[in-house]
Amino acid sequence: MKSKLVTPQNPMSPEEIRARLIMKKVKQIDIARQCEVSHVAVRLVIEGKTVSRRIRQAIANVIEVPLEVIWPTSGATPNLGDLSKTYSIFS
């Protein structure tokens, strides 16, 4: 499978987020339990249908990609050092 470089200009799709979670052997229900929310809330955040900074941060931590790279329009101010980095979704 070809590796995609993830940057703030080329963010991750919901499918790529799910794939990365699978690669890390983490289920959406695991994120939900950690954040004390429903699995539906996690799915809606991944699909971009709702916003929860707490759920987004939990996902970012698990898949080891900065929040600002996954969701560049999250309202978070990215660290300029992070903007020069790229992240492969297939490590």
Using the predicted structure, report yes or no on whether residue 13 has a pLDDT greater than 70: yes
Q: What DSSP letter does each residue of 22-41 carry, written as one string? A: HHTT--HHHHHHHHTS-HHH
**pLDDT, tens digit, 9 for 90 and up, residues 40-91:** 999 999 999 999 999 999 999 999 999 988 988 755 444 444 444 545 554 4
Q: So what's the pLDDT on residue 6?
A: 63
**Rounded Cα gap, residues 37 and 15, in angstroms:** 21
pLDDT band at 1 (very low <50, low <70, confident <90, very high): very low
- Residue 24 near residue 31 (C-beta atoms within 8 A): no
pTM (predicted TM-score): 0.73
Q: So what's the pLDDT on residue 4?
A: 64
74 CB-near residues (< 8 Å, 6+ apart): 51, 53, 56, 67, 68
- Residue 63 near residue 13 (C-beta atoms within 8 A): no
